[in-house]
Amino acid sequence: MKQTTGTLAAMKASGNKISMITAYDYTMARLISASGAEMILVGDSLGMVMLGYEDTVPVTMDDMVRHTRAVSRGCGDCFLVADMPFMACRISKRDTLLASARLMQEGRANAVKIEGGTEMADSIRAVVESGIPVMGHVGLTPQSVHALGGFKVQGRELAGAQKVLDDARAVAEAGAFGIVLECIPAPLAKLITEETGCITIGIGAGSGCDGQVLVGQDLLGMYSERTPKFLKRYAQIGQTVTDACRQYCEEVRSGVFPDEAHSFSLDPEILKALH
């Protein structure tokens, strides 16, 4: 059964936890869908994981549409959320609506994710009123990493915690069906989860959220440029890939590959005629 905002809300109401994993291409989407995850996020983290940027800022709308469209073909019953990239929601409401429409129509997303709190409430409300489901994102917002002074936990002091709480309230009141809570203290995330009607998806926000999200390549051990405290690696696929490619290269150089089992034969009479 295809996941929807309704089925996800029902999971929150019944206390069943929600699993969300990022994917940026068709192959990964197929594998995640088969795992039983409820949600897939096409995050603008693709800028670092797939495109080699230092942060998410250079990611464009065209990048997001292209990768979202690829993931949509393999996401199966997962609910597909796509990130609105840097500045896509901060120029005008018209630009925000047009960008959201592209992710839904061209990218085939089921919802869009918008970073920011109180300052983004009006934009979120406009997108929701247009009929597009919105997931918010508060706490550590990677698109604002330069303004925040780097990737670090938010809301540890009273003023910071109050800001995160106010941001979450504003996003919920604007009509978002869910909120990603990134790198905030676990008790604060639990308070937001209990107070708002939104589905909360944590990343570095403790177990009190309604669900969790991790970057697929991170949890598989394929991307090791950063190792945040909240990351748990469930495999070391990166090393497996390197080892397999190394063995392939060695066999090519030595002539072991391809052998007869991996080659196509030709009738000797045809070969004789060719000569």
For residue 61 the two structure tokens come to 């709308």
19 near 211, Cβ under 8 Å?
A: yes
Question: Closest by alpha carbon to 112, among 57, 168, 167, 43?
Answer: 43
For the beta carbon of residue 240, count every other beta carbon within 10 angstroms.
13
For residue 34 the two structure tokens come to 């088969």
How many residues comprise the chain?
Answer: 275
Question: Closest by alpha carbon to 38, among 76, 82, 83?
Answer: 76
Three-state DSSP class for residue 134? strand
- How far is residue 121's CA from residue 100's CA, in Å, rounded to a whole number? 15
Question: Closest by alpha carbon to 232, among 256, 215, 245?
Answer: 215
The residues near 12 (Cβ < 8 Å, ≥ 6 apart) are 18, 199, 210
31 near 75, Cβ under 8 Å?
A: no
The residues near 274 (Cβ < 8 Å, ≥ 6 apart) are none
Catalytic residue among 173, 182, 194, 195: 182
Active site residue 225: no
- How far is residue 151's CA from residue 229's CA, in Å, rounded to a whole number? 12
Question: Which residue type sits at 137?
Answer: H
Half-sphere exposure for 203 (CA within 13 Å, toward CB): 25
The catalytic site residues sit at 182
